[in-house]
Structure 1
Amino acid sequence: MATALVASPLGAQSAPSARIPPAENAPIAYLLDASSGQILYARDIDRRFMPASITKVMTTFLAFEWMEEGRLFPQQVYGVRPDTFRKWHRKGSTMFLPADARVTVDDLLHGVTTVSANDGAVVLAEGAAGSVEDWVAAMNAKARDIGMADSHFGNPNGWMDDGKTFVTARDLGTLAQTMVTRHPTKYRHFVGAKGLKYNGIEQRNHDPIIGVVPGADGIKTGYTNQAGFGFLGSAQRDGRRLVMVVAGSPGGRERNAASRQFIEWGFQHFDSRVLFTNGARIASARVQQGGAGEVGLTAAGPVRISVPKGTDPEVSLALRYEGPLQAPIAKGEEVAELIVSIEGMPDHRVPLVASEEVLEATLLQRVFNAMRSWVA
């Protein structure tokens, strides 16, 4: 059985300095306010790179999705195939699965998220999907489904595969934001432990911000000779979550320093404000052939924005949808987007959903609507 070691408080460690990492230490740098969807900083975020073990975040997310769908359960037990043991025993980062191991999904996922277990990722893939190939196909399908438009996965653990696996920082931000938003309970359970004890061996998590940056809770480092040093990280303070990507760093020390400085810069240099509270009616959209002529629009949660600290920039809002919308419309169906423009910052988009159901109009309602349009 694996034992996850809980991250310790910040304690007496000194807080990291706050600054944007220089390009020589982080050629790729991306900071996203996951609470608002805003991009706070971007450097070469659409450039493809090899993610190395950051690939395991996609494996983790797919496992979360399958758990939610009832296709995978934490207490399911898988064995280690002889060929898998021969290939992955002590290869790179590992949780030291024995050849005769009977290991739960819960333990495998803790191994993947905490000590970057290459063996654990493969055993999980084979057990859950039947083969690595079928698991990888599901990874890629899920990546497309959540909008990772410029990424591809060739294996479940990020081992070098001659460039078949590649991502962009923008796509990793999408992955992290989606994982935390859809699966907050699973995220808290599986991500962010400071170490793992399994098979009598205790290993520590190499995450550079947990226990150093207040509120930090993950997510995943990556390194291979081909990929260099990278990190996908996240932290939450006062209800605001930031996600960051640093990639292409020349060494582990440079990556770790850049990661700590960068996310601290995000918290120190931006204020978070609420534009609309949870459940607030933000706007309405016209509906055609419906029992009602319009439908209310709301966001999935509070609509927040980040603005540079000490400033009061002009904020403008615009509604966009392809309309009039066609009935029937289900409550909660995504039908529009709110475009938030903040002076001096990139625009960002907030998905809007129908706040109520709109059924197709009856014959009598259609006649009434036609008469009303003639009068108007």
Structure 2
Amino acid sequence: MTVKRVKQQLVQVVVGVSLSLSAIIANAAIQPPEMDNTAYVLMDYNTGEILAQKNANQPLPPASLTKMMTSYIIEQRLSSGDLTEDEQVLMSKNAWCRGSSSQSCMYVPVNKTASVIDMLRGIIIQSGNDASKAMAEHIAGSESSFAILMNEQAEKLGMDNTHFVNATGMPDEGHQASALDLAKLARAIIKNSGEYYDIYAEKEFTYNGITQGNRNALLATDPTVDGLKTGHTNAAGYCLVASSNRDDMRLISVIMGTESPQARADQSRELLNWGFGHFTTVTKAPSNQFVSKLPVWFGEADEVELATGDTLQVLTTKTQKNKITTVVDIPESIEAPIKKGQKIGKMLAVIDGKAVASVPIVATTDIEQSGFMSRMWQHVVRWAQNLF
């Protein structure tokens, strides 16, 4: 690791110059996979970077991928305490699912209740339209009112090419989402849903004496896959959002508009394998790693220890992983008072002289100002040093 305390020395190396992942991919001449579908996206979970895409921003019928937003809202309300797991939810006549070849159901009897946690499993694992509608009514009073909440949450997540009309994904005018937006939603679920994310990896769920398997075929063939959701309508085709975690690197794949359940599974597997085959995440410095001691003026201590404020990880191609170096950009000294955790500078990861990632460098302790006379003396010393 190179420590540079004079910013002018750093300018020629990294300041004002950065290297995007897309540029790294282009330089490595990596070709994205060609697939027979309407749209796809491969996202790195840690950074949110897109590794490959096709028609990523095109609004499309999302089918039951819609239910990821329905389940996400439920999960957030469970986490906040606005809902409880054993809270009973009524299956109204409007939400009740009689069962047909055109929709999937949890099969809660009409005018009976089920717990929120069972409803959540019915949505995620069984893809129950009845459970989705019942929870929408329970939370917002009606499915149309719940759709307003869905769109508000979509806006918060930056899902710019998405508009929800219902909680199930059944065909409806204006109901659409892009592959990129669904990847953003999947990332939010993994990041924010805590223990409830584990449900997405469960292979089956039994309710009302009926056992139904998770339609995500990758769960049965790839132990690194732990979610998320399938979808299908005639308009949407066969769709799958999946996530795989291998060697401390997590990828999210979105496949939309394939011709069969087998095709969506095969293409998801191919896309994930392509990503893990070409890319890697390199940790250059863990969080709270000692960086340097920095002289302190006008403080009760003469120096402060600095450390990384976060883990410095670099997403790059496997051909570039051994070219990564680090540069530390900090001042020559600092004045008290200093607060623990205060940002003092930054550590940059550099490839071929260009910055590709950075984390803050922070003070590891508080340092208060020294007394008046001590500060006056240090002013004199500093003045004298500046003469030479």
Give the TM-score category using the shorter length: 0.7 to 0.9
Deviates more, 1:49-58 or 1:347-356: 347-356
2:225 corresponds to: 216
Looking at structure 1, the residues matched to 91 and 55 of structure 2 have their Cα atoms a distance apart, in angstroms, of 40
In the alignment, the residues of structure 2 paired with residue 123 and residue 42 of structure 1 have an alpha-carbon distance, to the nearest angstrom, of: 35
Counterparts in 2 of 1:1-376, with a 5 A limit? 21-23=33-35, 25-85=36-96, 88-90=97-99, 92-169=103-180, 171-188=181-198, 190-279=199-288, 302-312=311-321
Report the Cα distance in structure 1 between the residues aligned to 2:73 and 2:39, rounded to whole angstroms.
25
TM-score, reference length from structure 1: 0.73
Root mean square deviation of aligned Cα: 4.2
**Which string of whole-angstrom CA distances, capped at 9 and with x for unpartnered residues, describes residues 52-109 of structure 1?**
1001011111111112222111111011112322xx3316011111113210010000
Instruction: Return closer, same or farther for 1:144/1:242 CA change in 2, 3 Å cut-off.
Output: same
- Distance in 2, matches of 1:243 and 1:51, equals 16
Matched residue type, 1:22: E
Report the secondary structure of 1:83's partner residue. coil
Deviation of 1:274 after TM superposition, in Å, equals 0.6
1:293 match: none
1:299 to partner: Cα distance? 6.0
Equivalent residue letter for 2:47: S
Separation in 2, partners of 1:75, 1:318? 52
1:227 alignment partner AA:
A
Give the partner amino acid of 1:214.
Answer: P
* Distance across 1 between alignment mates of 2:239 and 2:271: 13
Q: Which ranges in structure 1 are unaligned for 5 or more consecutive residues?
A: 1-18, 284-295, 320-329, 359-363
1:211 is displaced (CA, Å) by 2.0
Cα distance in 2 for partners of 1:351, 1:64 equals: 30
Match of 1:13 in 2: none
Higher-Rg structure is: 2
Change (3 A) 1:316 1:29: farther
1:329-354 Cα offsets, whole Å, 9 max, x none, are: x99999x99997867xxx98779798
Tell me which amino acid in the other structure corresponds to 1:152.
H
Distance 1:82 1:29, change over 3 A: closer
- SS of corresponding position for 2:201: coil
Q: Distance in 2 between matches of 1:128 and 1:281?
A: 48
Sort the Cα spacing of 1:83 and 1:30 in 2 relative to 1 into closer, same or farther, 3 A: closer
* Residues 236 and 242, structure 1, Cα contact 8 Å, conserved in 2: yes
Q: Secondary structure at the match of 2:252?
A: strand
Give me the whole-angstrom Cα distance separating, in 1, the residues matched to 2:252 and 2:287. Answer: 22
Structure 2 letter corresponding to 1:105: V
Change (3 A) 1:99 1:28: same
Change (3 A) 1:352 1:118: farther
Deviations, residues 280-300 of structure 1 (Å, cap 9, x unaligned): 5899xxxxxxxxxxxx99666
Q: Alpha-carbon deviations, 1:170-204, whole Å to 9, x = none?
A: x222111121112232201x211111111111111
| Alignment correspondent of 1:10 | none
Partner AA of 1:269 in structure 2:
H
Number of equivalences: 333
TM-score under structure 2 normalisation? 0.71
Contact 2:288 2:307 (C-alpha < 8 Å) held by counterparts: no
Q: Percent identity?
A: 27
Give yes or no for contact 1:79–1:100 (8 Å, CA) kept in 2.
Answer: yes
Aligned residue type for 2:182: L
Q: CA 1:180 to 1:280, structure 2 compared with 1: closer, same or farther past 3 Å?
A: farther
The 3 A distance-change label for structure 1 pair 352 and 56 is: farther
Q: Distance in 1 between matches of 2:346 and 2:84?
A: 35
Q: For the structure 1 residues 225 and 352, does the alpha-carbon distance in structure 2 shift closer, same or farther, using more than 3 Å as the test?
A: farther
- Name the SS of the counterpart of 2:47 in structure 1: coil
Amino acid at match of 1:173: A
C-alpha distance in structure 1 between counterparts of 2:361 and 2:69, whole Å: 27
CA distance in 1, matches of 2:342, 2:217: 39
Query: Contact 2:285 / 2:312 at 8 angstroms: preserved in 1?
Result: yes
What's the offset of the Cα at 1:140?
Answer: 1.2
Superposed CA offset, 1:132-157 (max 9, x none): 22221111111111222221211111
Q: Which residue of 2 aligns with 1:287?
A: none
Q: Cα–Cα, structure 1 residues 181 and 211, in superposed 2: closer, same or farther, change >3 Å?
A: same
Structure 2 vs 1, CA of residues 270 and 153 (structure 1 numbering), >3 Å: closer, same or farther?
same
The 8 Å contact of residues 95 and 131 in structure 2, kept in 1 or not, is answered as: no
